[in-house]
Amino acid sequence: MISKLLHKVSQKYAPKWLVLLFDLLIVVITFILAYFIRYNFKLGFNFNLVIEQIPYVLLAALISFLAVRSHRAVVRFTGFKDIINIIIGANILATILIVSTFFSRKFNYDELFDVPGSIIYIHLLLNVAFIIGFKLFIKSLYNTLTNDYLPTKNVLIFGAGSSGMITYDAISNDPQNHYQVIGFIDDNESKVGKKINLLPVYNLKRITPELVLKNTIEEVIVSIQNIDPTRLLQITGYLFDLGLLVKIVPPLQSWIDGDLSIGQIKNVNIEDLLGRDPISIINPALIDEYENKIILITGAAGSIGSEISRKVSRYNYKKLILLDNAESALYDLQQEFKQRGLENIEAIIADVRNRTRIDQIFNQYKPKVVFHAAAYKHVPLMENNPFEAVSVNIGGTSNVADISVKHIVDKFVLISTDKAVNPTNVMGATKRIAELYVTCLKEKGHTKFITTRFGNVLGSNGSVIPLFKKQIENGGPLTVTHKDIMRYFMTIPEACQLVLEAAAMGNGGEIFVFDMGEPVKIFNLATNMIILSGLRYPEDIDIKITGLRPGEKIYEELLANGENTTKTYHEKIMIAKSRPIDIINVEKQINKLSTVNSLTQPLEIVSFIKTLIPEYISNNSTYEVLDNKK
């Protein structure tokens, strides 16, 4: 019954006129009190005159509070900005009284407007103290009454700096938060052992199982701006071992209107634990790059293609053409853009292997910028289906590239992969041939051909993260092919930022590679995902080593033998200086490879590929027999 009554009350707010009335009432009380304080609590002043001055003081207070609109604030949510507003209003009131007193004495006005200076200053201080104190009292009372009937979680805030204080205020100002902050954690030893807002500050090592049990701590909120990912990994690992849930405060730039709300505090994601700073590219030149341009994206429904589409859609393009042969996924992307109210977007079902169809689309829409993301990417599948890998990754690329030259496209951006470097599988080798093909075209027309090469993308279709999530949902085990296998990782937005930046900075013929930091052990990634899910390894979910798949490497590379890099204006983006190639011979061999058909035996197809890419050495694959013949 009480909880229902409190819930009903919590849904109502005091009317603005009532808040203003209480503020004015406090002004009257403090005005009289100021006289008593000034005269040592004796009636040594003209009390009747004070009573006559009250209406004038009320009018001045009314003007002041209406000017700053302090009465519009919800009392139970009183925060720092509201307190500043009250202080400004009280100072305006004092200023009005000082000005009127000055003119009253100078021109011998009615003494009604003559308030002693000492009274004005005492009144100012009392107004600030009483009005703020009253509002904070109501806020505290409300929170106490409502929180007593809500289940609460005892939490610690990691970070006793300004961000931690903002987080504390956000929690304190939200009566429905279900959180009770009982202390802070900080790496700064000068803060450890002290108190902030009467709450203790701990060192991380002081958070022991005994302390957690004694205080029934359930969560820790990490509130440090620009925290080093490696340090975050250390913190989360330590806290996870204590059975605590860890959440993180987002970066300042993502706060809504510059204010933090509890709803923005999120669980730590695997992206937060990459072990490197997120890539940030801010380049005003991108606006000019896509301004009033017709842009075509192949493979637009895929993980990379769809994110490129989303990023391009933020610019003032002339027309955006989304091309893919995956009907359902393309339909979903089209509907997403329709819900956003975007115009001049065409979703086209087409296969990049159909040269006539692609030529027709280019002839109809005449794109000026092409992002070629259409490809087959799954290593084990392509190892068993080399014809399909050749037809899409090589044939599809050559189709779109040739037609781009024919229709005088300004820029063609090829999405490649680190698996193209010293390839050990069919997929990587066909992507390397695609790189070579666009390199051969770089001086054969108006079109500038640009290649972007990066590692694994977190969360892309069929990648390791969604696989691990599904395995965790099914109770495990998580499958890892080798305990030492390592991969470079980036998020989908990071990958697409690189692609857009490459299109802007590229002059044709470059292969852009990305400083992806240190490679991540897949085994460690698996254990972190288990922990992030609130489970324990190996008690709750185990990890099973399944052995390397056909064509799979233990370590990936971003540069081939004979390649080095030159810097660009962005520290995270470099240009691979590839070794010279015999364009005539390479074109001849690629054209020969393009003649293979579905009846050609896989060994024969892969033999053609190995002739063209001598550094292609198969690993854990049936095609190793071809390497032995070399």
SS3 annotation, 493-552: HHHHHHHHHHHHHCCCCCEEEECCCCCEEHHHHHHHHHHHCCCCCCCCCCEEECCCCCCC
**What digits encode the pLDDT tens for the residues 550-564?**
877 777 665 555 556
**What digits encode the pLDDT tens for the residues 287-324?**
788 889 999 999 999 989 999 999 999 889 999 999 99
Rounded-to-integer distance, Cα 421 and Cα 431, Å: 9
pLDDT tier for residue 404 given thresholds of 50, 70 and 90: very high
Which DSSP category does 73 fall into? S
Which DSSP category does 113 fall into? G
pLDDT tier for residue 147 given thresholds of 50, 70 and 90: low
**What digits encode the pLDDT tens for the residues 216-251?**
998 998 988 877 766 787 788 788 878 888 888 876
Which residue in the block uniquely carries the two structure tokens 């092409």? 370
Rounded-to-integer distance, Cα 113 and Cα 448, Å: 80
Q: What are the strands, taking DSSP E only, across 197-299?
A: 199-202, 217-222, 245-248, 266-267, 294-298
Query: Do residues 419 and 431 lie in contact, with contact meaning Cβ atoms separated by under 8 Å?
Result: yes
Q: Would the pLDDT of 3 be above 80?
A: no
Q: Would the pLDDT of 603 be above 50?
A: yes
pLDDT tier for residue 7 given thresholds of 50, 70 and 90: very low
Q: Which residue has the higher pLDDT, 459 or 314?
A: 314
Of these residues, 419, 448, 553, 572, which one is catalytic? 419
- For 290-301, the DSSP string reads HTT-EEEEETTT
Which DSSP category does 76 fall into? G
pLDDT tier for residue 38 given thresholds of 50, 70 and 90: confident
Residue in 20, 50, 19, 31 with CA at minimum distance from that of residue 126: 31
Residues 6+ apart with CB under 8 A from 508: 442, 443, 447, 448, 449, 450
Across the range 179-196, mean pLDDT stands at: 90
Across the range 585-597, mean pLDDT stands at: 83
Q: How many residues does the chain have?
A: 630
pLDDT at 620: 87
Structure tokens at 43: 């009636």
Across the range 29-34, mean pLDDT stands at: 89
What average pLDDT does the chain have? 83
**Angle subtended at Cα 248 by Cα 242 and Cα 252, rounded to the nearest 5 degrees:** 160
Rounded-to-integer distance, Cα 178 and Cα 171, Å: 9
Which residue in the block uniquely carries the two structure tokens 């925060």? 79
pLDDT above 70: percentage of residues in the chain: 85
Q: Would the pLDDT of 207 be above 50?
A: yes
Structure tokens at 155: 């939490």
Residues 6+ apart with CB under 8 A from 449: 401, 412, 414, 438, 439, 441, 442, 508, 509
Rounded-to-integer distance, Cα 611 and Cα 149, Å: 75
180, containing H or E segment: strand 179-185
Assess whether 419 carries a catalytic annotation. yes
Residues 6+ apart with CB under 8 A from 343: none
Rounded-to-integer distance, Cα 235 and Cα 159, Å: 12
Structural domains present in the chain: 2-146 (no CATH), 153-268 (3.40.50.720), 285-455+491-515+557-624 (3.40.50.720)
55, containing H or E segment: helix 47-68
- For 601-627, the DSSP string reads -HHHHHHHHHHH-TT----SSTTHHHH
